[in-house]
Amino acid sequence: MVLFADDTSLLITDSNDLDFNTNVNQHFRNIISWFNSNLLILNFNKTHYMEFRTKNYYQIKTKVKYEHKNISNSTDTKFLGLIIDEAFHFISFIKHSVNPFTRSSNL
């Protein structure tokens, strides 16, 4: 888990697809529980997940949900001022740095 100001990020890895899906959802429930215990609220409108991939990547059918709320998948995100995409190409970051008025729809 990575915490910075009011941002929380969770990094999960697993070589088994079934275990990965189980772990993602369990950790997400744990985070929600921790938020609730500490009188914090998770903004579901700003919550998403991203699957990092390599060139030889195959699509994993990840479904993240909490109490009938599906968490959307994103192809890029802003993390500590950097725009990171799922393949670590940094194209969005470079475009944003060259033209700061260009915004990705997911940021």
Q: For residue 66, which phi and psi values (nearest 5 degrees)?
A: -145, 120
Could you tell me the pTM of the whole model?
A: 0.61
Q: What is the pLDDT along the chain (107 residues), one digit of tens a residue?
A: 666 667 778 888 877 778 888 888 898 889 889 889 999 888 888 888 887 777 676 666 777 877 778 888 887 877 777 777 777 666 665 666 656 555 555 55
Classify burial at 65, counting beta carbons within 10 Å of its beta carbon; exposed 0-12, middle 13-18, buried 19 or more. Answer: exposed
73 forms bridges with which residues in the sheet? 49
**Closest C-alpha to 31, from 3, 69, 72:** 3
Element at 74 (helix H, strand E): none
Distance CA 107, CA 77 (A): 6
